[in-house]
């Protein structure tokens, strides 16, 4: 599992380095902040929702990447950020774990992985 996580993180950072590609448009995505390991593996239930908040927070603090699970399509975006080079998005997303958010940024896709480089995030009030 650690090797898979390292590969995923390597992909995220590699794609981040090439984030200046032309023709990539800014998008807005509405969804829930989830830790990608629990959500994808299902090892600890559905890996989403308020009941998973404490686990997702612990996973994120332990280094598991956070992502955005889009409401409309159920698409999982691995989260990156555009503010600090060579740094992931966990610190930016921790206050929003298991919450509905609207994020704005650029989406890159390669090998079936979607990376959302977040420029702006806001919590949605339901």
Residue 49: the pLDDT is 96
Residue 5: the pLDDT is 52
Is residue 9 over pLDDT 80? no
Mean pLDDT of the chain: 87
Is residue 61 over pLDDT 80? yes
What is the per-residue pLDDT across 98-112, written as a single tens digit (0 to 9) for each?
Answer: 999 999 999 999 999
Q: What is the domain count for the chain? A: 1
Range in 14-23, 49-58, 62-71, 84-93 the model is least confident about: 14-23
Is residue 3 over pLDDT 70? no
3-state secondary structure 25-42: CEEEEEEEEEEHHHHHHC
CA distance 113 to 11: 9
In 3-state terms, what secondary structure has residue 100? strand
Domain containing residue 89: CATH number: 2.40.50
Name the burial class of residue 47, with classes exposed (0-12), middle (13-18) and buried (19+) by CB atoms within 10 angstroms of its CB: buried
Domain extent, residue 31, equals: 2-123
Residue 1: the pLDDT is 57
């Amino acid at each position: 599992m650690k090797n898979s996580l390292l590969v995923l993180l390597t992909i995220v950072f590699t794609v981040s380095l090439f984030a200046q590609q032309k023709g990539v448009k800014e998008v807005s995505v509405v969804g829930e902040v989830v830790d990608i390991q629990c959500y994808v593996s299902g090892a600890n239930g559905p890996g989403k929702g308020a009941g998973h908040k404490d686990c997702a927070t612990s996973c994120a603090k332990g280094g598991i990447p956070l992502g955005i699970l889009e409401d409309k399509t159920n698409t999982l975006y691995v989260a990156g950020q555009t503010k600090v080079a060579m740094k992931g998005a966990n610190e930016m997303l921790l206050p929003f774990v298991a919450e509905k958010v609207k994020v704005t940024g650029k989406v890159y896709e390669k090998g079936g992985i979607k990376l959302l480089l977040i420029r702006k995030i806001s919590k949605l009030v339901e």
